[in-house]
Structure 1
Amino acid sequence: MTSKALILIEGSKMGNGLLYVRAASHLGLHSITLTVDPSQYDYLTTENAVAIQVDTDDLDALKNVCCRLQSTYKVVGISSALESAYAKVGRLCEDFGLPGPNPLSIEQCCDKFRQREILKQAEIPIPAFRLAENATEVKSAAAEIGLPAILKPAEGSGSYGVRLCRDMDELVEHADYMLCGTHRWNSSPRILVEEFAQGPHYTALLMGNEVVAIATASFGRAPHFVYREFTCPAPLSHNELERIADLSRSCLQALGLGWGPTAIELRWTERGPIVIEVNPRLSGTPDPQLVKLAYGIDLVTEHIKLAIGEKCDLRKRLSQSSAARFLVPDQDGMLDWIEGASSAAAVPGVAEVKLYAQSKTPLIRKGDYRDCLGYIVAASSCREQTAARLQQAVDLVHWSITQAKATVDDQINKMD
């Protein structure tokens, strides 16, 4: 009997890649990861997962590998945990007659400027925005929108290149960083200048057209947007939940989405909920773990079920509170040591302790998801108990960072 296989396009070093590999195995599927560099995903080795090296930017090369795999496996699905690969997933699914996302909808959604144009046309509340391709246009756009404003690349994820600019000096500095060769672009530089929407941050997690969960998040210190903590479910009234859910479904309709997972980021402002961004893929870790702990719904498994043509099951089996805290350093330098993970994991209610960083590793903060040293996840029957357990575990994890000598000298010089 021919083995059933799920093909995964690329993976993720700090995201859901491992969860997809494990979920596929639990469903009796062989996961085969197509990637430009198998060595970048450690979990492929630890999980004894199959990986094939291929240029994943080359759609024809991907098609050829998938065709060859069909001679050995029964390929029942194609998916990815990576946003940048998701449009290719849609095209491959079309070519091989498999369930999958609409690639055109994914492409226009991943273009953040185009996404905002569509949402604005559909009269969905969003922050004011302008597109800029040079420093002059950035300053002109900011003058129209007003400061503080947010600068971000028109494509990308993980808060990569996103910064709050509180005055003109910060605006010029970040525009120069993005336009003068420091920021890595996959195409011509295109910057979104966006109104800073102030208010609590929420993420609506959907599968198909169903809002599965609404979580709330907090961030570290400005001017960057590095996540500090997630809580699921968010402490919202029934009316507030319904307003966010209705707004989220309107986004799907406007953007032509509605198959598979979507993560929609919102802020609750003086004007009510407004949409910050629609991400046409499953939200990254630890969001799926939080939903599983809170409601008993495994979003990764249910996504794979859709991808292989089965019906997903989104019934809530639990009613708990879950939360995650990200471990983020407050300075650059050499990470001498990090310890306490086993002690934190032993705290009652702690479901996961994940450390990305290793001792004797240089740390240079970038103001995005890559700054994270790890995270801790906890759950219980009520929000207050979950918060207490999470804090207890966080207090048990410690690290030491030695500042680089040049950095110390720079600080001394500034004092002279």
Structure 2
Amino acid sequence: MTAPGPADDRPRLLMVMPYRQFVSKAQAEGFWVGALWDPRLETPEYLADVRARADLYAEADFGDPELLRRTLRTMAREHGATLVYHLGREETMVTAYEAAEDLHAELNPSEAIRRLADKAVMRDLLARHGLSPVAFEAVPTRREVPDAVERIGRPAVVKPTALAGSRGVFLWREARDAAEWTAVVDRYGYDGPFLVEEYLRGPEYSVETLSRDGGHQVVGITEKLLGPPPLFVEVGHVHPAPLPEDRVRAVEDLVTEFLTACGYLFGPAHTEVIWTARGPRVVESQARLGGDRIPRLVELATGLDIERAIFAALADRPAAPAAARATTATAIVRFFTFPPGRVDDVRGVEEAASLPYVDELTLRPGPGDTVPAVLDSKSRHGHVIVHGASPEEARARCAEVLAAIEVVIDNTVVRADGRTGPLGTPV
């Protein structure tokens, strides 16, 4: 455990798995920040950066709930932390909030976090409140899933309720899909529990909110670009979503009513919604910021730094947006998903990254690497973020970048937009 510096009078905030920018932005709003991480969840280089930024740094095995609770209680008492906060992965959120309640340092009731983190509990809550009706069944182990699929009716979506990041989500369309689904859950060594739901058809959106004293402000709605079934791994996002005003209001009303029913009081929430023929339906929600660089899209499009706004609100200050970029109205992230194989060459990355409207560009596979298959959000091959003054300009710029990046895989040229051709011929 890294010792803090000289005593000071800053309010003391103890955070579970805070990403490095959270540490810096909380400190910028006047907080002393203690950071607790499981070293298995990030690289040593990343955690060294967190350690260097934090006023206090410690590590623990998050797979042991009692150890996590005990470590949080010890850190909070020894260093005078008055708030305990978790904005990372949802698997350990409930445990962290239970420890915070023991210390009277919580920002939300642990039961509110459970209603958001546990997909089956969330569905029960929605059903009890008559919100977003969806046919579903919770089953404890994989053995019960095939029968539940038959009862719900194919096609059905099967979700591992204890996994996150699209891991193991599967569209079960035919009886013969049992073998493929079994292979998917085997990859994660997962046996249950599961949620089996009716397949909701329609465009999907991410709704970002900030809550304070039980009131919920919708920061923005982002359009999700989904990959093909049965895994539906996201291939991109567009912010703001191109939605008519009446649909915007309907989505906002559903999400804020849902968060109120959960008893959620403070912080960001990331809620996924599908617009069906029967109106909006909640897919799932988490007590954290959206992933996939959505906070950066919001900042590019609106000027609001959501991450810093959390800590401004925690410090009881208004979360006013920074000076918005006058020429930016739409921001897009697209993820690279190349076919599996050996990389012979990579072209166009440096040129694309230098374009003035490209905000970020990363491509992980390089010459000599083997490209893995994309099975979930963690296995995608990189991303690019572009912005434009209108949706049309942003989409055109994104298409230009995707067409400019080429990866030669097993003697075949593959562009980031998916077009392919033999080596030595124009794609």
Same fold (TM over 0.5): yes
CA RMSD of aligned residues (A): 2.7
Structure 1 residue 28 displacement after superposition = 5.3
Contact 2:87–2:287, Cα closer than 8 Å, also in 1: no
Is structure 2 residue 301 aligned with structure 1 residue 294?
Answer: yes
Q: Percent identity?
A: 24
Cα shift readout 1:59-115 (whole Å, capped 9, x = no counterpart): 112221333344xxx766633322223324433443445452221111232111111
What TM-score, normalized by structure 1, do the two folds share? 0.84
Structure 2 counterpart SS, 1:252 = helix
Q: In 1, Cα distance between the equivalents of 2:181 and 2:378? A: 18
Equivalent of 2:332, from 312, 323, 340?
323
Structure 1 residue 326 displacement after superposition = 0.9
Q: Residue type matched to 2:378 in 1? A: R
Cα shift readout 1:323-364 (whole Å, capped 9, x = no counterpart): 1111122x3344555554432222222222234556544443
Is structure 2 residue 189 aligned with structure 1 residue 184?
Answer: yes
Is structure 2 residue 7 aligned with structure 1 residue 2?
Answer: yes
Equivalent of 2:390, from 372, 382, 391?
382
Alignment of 1:395-406 (within 5 A): 395-402=403-410
Which residue in 2 is equivalent to 1:23?
Answer: 25
Q: In 2, Cα distance between the equivalents of 1:343 and 1:22? A: 31
Give the direction of change, closer, same or farther, for the CA distance of 1:305–1:358 in structure 2 (3 Å limit): farther
Cα shift readout 1:112-148 (whole Å, capped 9, x = no counterpart): 1111011011111243111223455322222222211
Q: Residue type matched to 1:303 in 2? A: I
Which residue in 2 is equivalent to 1:14?
Answer: none
Q: In 2, Cα distance between the equivalents of 1:290 and 1:248? A: 20
Which residue in 1 is equivalent to 2:355?
Answer: 347
Give the direction of change, closer, same or farther, for the CA distance of 1:120–1:130 in structure 2 (3 Å limit): same
Which residue in 1 is equivalent to 2:418?
Answer: none
Q: Residue type matched to 1:202 in 2? A: Y
Is structure 2 residue 43 aligned with structure 1 residue 43?
Answer: no
Q: In 2, Cα distance between the equivalents of 1:216 and 1:142? A: 28
Which residue in 1 is equivalent to 2:421?
Answer: none
Contact 1:119–1:255, Cα closer than 8 Å, also in 2: no
Q: In 1, Cα distance between the equivalents of 2:362 and 2:30? A: 26
Q: Residue type matched to 1:45 in 2? A: A
Equivalent of 1:90, from 90, 97, 101?
97
Equivalent of 2:241, from 230, 234, 242?
234
Q: In 2, Cα distance between the equivalents of 1:173 and 1:227? A: 20
Equivalent of 1:120, from 105, 127, 143?
127
Q: Which structure would you say has the larger RCO, counting Cα contacts within 8 Å and 6 or more residues apart? A: 1
Structure 2 counterpart SS, 1:184 = coil
Contact 1:32–1:49, Cα closer than 8 Å, also in 2: no
Q: Residue type matched to 1:35 in 2? A: W
Which residue in 2 is equivalent to 1:414?
Answer: none
Structure 1 residue 314 displacement after superposition = 5.0
Give the direction of change, closer, same or farther, for the CA distance of 1:362–1:167 in structure 2 (3 Å limit): same
Equivalent of 1:167, from 164, 174, 178?
174
Which residue in 1 is equivalent to 2:373?
Answer: 365
How many aligned residue pairs are there? Answer: 389
Equivalent of 1:212, from 219, 231, 250?
219
- Of residues 388-397 and 189-198 in structure 1, the stretch that sits farther from structure 2 once superposed is 388-397
Which residue in 2 is equivalent to 1:67?
Answer: 77
Alignment of 1:209-288 (within 5 A): 209-288=216-295
Structure 1 residue 387 displacement after superposition = 1.0
Give the direction of change, closer, same or farther, for the CA distance of 1:333–1:6 in structure 2 (3 Å limit): farther
Which residue in 1 is equivalent to 2:147?
Answer: 140
Cα shift readout 1:198-256 (whole Å, capped 9, x = no counterpart): 11111111001011101101111221121111111111111110000001111112221
Q: Residue type matched to 1:239 in 2? A: D
Structure 2 counterpart SS, 1:284 = coil
- Of residues 312-321 and 206-215 in structure 1, the stretch that sits farther from structure 2 once superposed is 312-321
Is structure 2 residue 118 aligned with structure 1 residue 111?
Answer: yes
Structure 2 alignment gaps of length 5 or more: 1-5, 412-427
Q: Residue type matched to 2:59 in 1? A: Q
Cα shift readout 1:272-304 (whole Å, capped 9, x = no counterpart): 111111222111131100111111111111122
Q: In 2, Cα distance between the equivalents of 1:8 and 1:341? A: 36
Give the direction of change, closer, same or farther, for the CA distance of 1:288–1:259 in structure 2 (3 Å limit): same
Give the direction of change, closer, same or farther, for the CA distance of 1:139–1:326 in structure 2 (3 Å limit): same
Structure 1 alignment gaps of length 5 or more: 12-16, 404-416
Which residue in 2 is equivalent to 1:407?
Answer: none
- Of residues 85-94 and 227-236 in structure 1, the stretch that sits farther from structure 2 once superposed is 85-94
Q: Residue type matched to 1:103 in 2? A: S
- Of residues 334-343 and 298-307 in structure 1, the stretch that sits farther from structure 2 once superposed is 334-343
Which residue in 2 is equivalent to 1:54?
Answer: 60
Give the direction of change, closer, same or farther, for the CA distance of 1:175–1:113 in structure 2 (3 Å limit): farther
Contact 1:217–1:229, Cα closer than 8 Å, also in 2: yes
What TM-score, normalized by structure 2, do the two folds share? 0.82
Which residue in 2 is equivalent to 1:408?
Answer: none
Structure 1 residue 45 displacement after superposition = 3.3
Contact 1:133–1:190, Cα closer than 8 Å, also in 2: yes
- Of residues 127-136 and 204-213 in structure 1, the stretch that sits farther from structure 2 once superposed is 127-136
Structure 2 counterpart SS, 1:305 = helix
Q: Residue type matched to 2:319 in 1? A: D
Structure 2 counterpart SS, 1:155 = coil
Q: In 2, Cα distance between the equivalents of 1:79 and 1:305? A: 16
